[in-house]
Amino acid sequence: MIYLDNNATTEIAEEVFEAMKPYLTNRFGNPSAVYDFAREAREIVDVSRQRLADLVGAENSTEIVFTSCGTESDNWAILGALGANPEKRHIITTKVEHSAISNLCKKLEQDGVEVTTLGVDENGSLDLDELRGALRPETAVVSVMMANNETGIIFPVKEIAEIVHSDSDAVFHVDGVNAVGKIPVNVREAGIDLFSISGHKFHAPKGIGALYIRRGVKLAPMLIGGSQESGRRAGTEAVHQIAAIGKAAELAKSPGTDIRRLRDKLEDFILRNIPNARLNGTAERSVRLPNTSSISFENINGEMILARLNELGICVSTGSACNSESRHSSSVLQAMNVPFTTAMGAVRFSLGRYNTEAEIDFVIEHLPKIIEELRQQGI
């Protein structure tokens, strides 16, 4: 199996699996308990919080709150900002956000919250003047992603933060789910107020995430109950999952395979050798994730390519994993004005820490034949 779908989810690292095991077996104590036996559970929660704080450049580990996934972190950022500022009923977001933000905003719109959705150009870039024009005194939160899960395009979050903070007192939320572990993140330097993290995107298991909440930012609690997570997100801590995300955060700081070189090799090969293949989004690599290539094979159905690659054990995606069952072309590609026939032929290759050169060579060997055959069949 050759796994090139790391923006959808990643393999649990061996080190991560080992780190979580004791908390699934003998160290099962409740971190809130006061006897000695529970101390190890409490300690690993603190250690993991610090590791995550270090990974994203938080000033203090108390700014990290554990959640169950990226979706929860995203939902909390928006709902928490609205909840803490009930007089403000306006949100600014973009047309290329993950459904964890876009579908929530649609729902909030039905509930009477005003939502401004910023567009992108064909390169996938935002118009920052449009953002300036959209900010209002009643804007509660501005939410943009750091890196797009489908195209890998990185938004200039530091510049966006400067605009948000100089022209308004809105809270600035960044969905960092597909950026963490792939590019360096420093929430403090970037001026980010809230930052969403999801463990399964960087070699921790599914079911654990976090929200960075800059000290001083007002946010309504996510779950109300006990005093866990300083009362901001109640519920007994998932200690094994927290141990896992902490280990994954530590691992993310150490260099793995040269993903960028392998991605460049694959992308260059396809664009140079396969007729009518085009990159979705800017060709400028400095503003794209080093692991992602979204490439459209004109007039072929991406799902057919996916199926043929699947027969060879190669896993790719035709867009976001969350909308792979939808028959519509991806909303991200639509927002970038990619024509329908091009968008339907989009394949996302997203590499990860454990890919090898031999795997990329295998894809390079087989993909041209697959595309040629599908073109001959007129699919």
For the bound state, the minimum distance from the C-beta of residue 273 to ligand PLP, rounded and expressed in Å, comes to 30
Is 228:269 a contact under the CB 8 Å cutoff?
no
Task: Please name which of 290, 285, 304, 287 lies closest in space to residue 344, comparing C-alpha atoms.
Answer: 304
For the bound state, the minimum distance from the C-beta of residue 113 to ligand PLP, rounded and expressed in Å, comes to 20
Is 300:374 a contact under the CB 8 Å cutoff?
yes
For the bound state, the minimum distance from the C-beta of residue 74 to ligand PLP, rounded and expressed in Å, comes to 6
Verify binding: residue 100, ligand PLP, rule CB under 6 A: yes
Q: Where are the beta strands (DSSP E) in the chain?
A: 2-3, 64-67, 90-94, 114-118, 139-145, 171-175, 194-198, 209-213, 277-279, 292-297, 314-315, 346-350
In the bound state with ligand PLP, the residue whose beta carbon lies nearer, of 281 and 300, is: 281
Verify binding: residue 152, ligand PLP, rule CB under 6 A: no
For the bound state, the minimum distance from the C-beta of residue 142 to ligand PLP, rounded and expressed in Å, comes to 16
Provide the pairing of β-strand 139-145 with 346-350: unpaired
d(CA 286, CA 122): 17
For the bound state, the minimum distance from the C-beta of residue 38 to ligand PLP, rounded and expressed in Å, comes to 28
Concatenating the DSSP letter of every residue in 209-258 gives EEEEE-TT-----SB-SSSGGGGTB-S---HHHHHHHHHHHHHHTS--S-
In the bound state with ligand PLP, the residue whose beta carbon lies nearer, of 252 and 367, is: 252
- Our measurement of the distance from residue 191's CA atom to the centroid of its chain's CA atoms, rounded to an integer in Å, reads 19
59 to 98, contacts with ligand PLP by CB under 6 A?
A: 69-71, 74, 98
206 to 235, contacts with ligand PLP by CB under 6 A?
A: 209
Q: Which two tokens stand for residue 80?
A: 């928490």
- Check the CA dihedral 42-45-48-52 and report its sign: negative
Task: Return the DSSP state at 378.
Answer: T
Q: Which two tokens stand for residue 241?
A: 């999952």
Burial of 147-169, coded b for 16+ CB within 10 Å and e otherwise, reads bbbbbbbbbbbeebbebbeeebe
Catalytic residue, from 69, 105, 315, 322: name it: 322
d(CA 222, CA 268): 45
For the bound state, the minimum distance from the C-beta of residue 193 to ligand PLP, rounded and expressed in Å, comes to 17
3-state secondary structure of 297: strand
Verify binding: residue 180, ligand PLP, rule CB under 6 A: no
Q: Where are the beta strands (DSSP E) in 131-170?
A: 139-145
Residue 315 annotated as catalytic: no
Verify binding: residue 171, ligand PLP, rule CB under 6 A: no
Residue nearest to ligand PLP (CB): 70
Task: Return the DSSP state at 156.
Answer: -
For the bound state, the minimum distance from the C-beta of residue 211 to ligand PLP, rounded and expressed in Å, comes to 12
In the bound state with ligand PLP, the residue whose beta carbon lies nearer, of 134 and 145, is: 145
Which of 178, 241, 294, 355 binds ligand PLP (CB under 6 A)? It is 178
In the bound state with ligand PLP, the residue whose beta carbon lies nearer, of 70 and 290, is: 70
What single-letter amino acid sits at 277?
A: A
Verify binding: residue 149, ligand PLP, rule CB under 6 A: yes
In the bound state with ligand PLP, the residue whose beta carbon lies nearer, of 94 and 168, is: 94
In the bound state with ligand PLP, the residue whose beta carbon lies nearer, of 107 and 132, is: 107
Is 81:219 a contact under the CB 8 Å cutoff?
yes
Q: Which two tokens stand for residue 35?
A: 């006897």
248 to 287, contacts with ligand PLP by CB under 6 A?
A: none
Residues that bind ligand PLP (rule: CB under 6 A) add up to a total of 16
For the bound state, the minimum distance from the C-beta of residue 71 to ligand PLP, rounded and expressed in Å, comes to 3
Segment near ligand PLP (CB under 6 A); pick from 77-85, 119-127, 173-181, 229-237: 173-181
d(CA 66, CA 212): 9
What single-letter amino acid sits at 59?
A: E
In the bound state with ligand PLP, the residue whose beta carbon lies nearer, of 149 and 293, is: 149
283 to 312, contacts with ligand PLP by CB under 6 A?
A: none
Segment near ligand PLP (CB under 6 A); pick from 34-42, 136-144, 175-183, 371-379: 175-183
Which of 50, 143, 198, 296 binds ligand PLP (CB under 6 A)? It is 198
Active-site amino acid positions = 322
Binding interface with ligand PLP (CB under 6 A): 69-71, 74, 98, 100, 145, 149, 175, 177-178, 198, 200, 209, 321-322
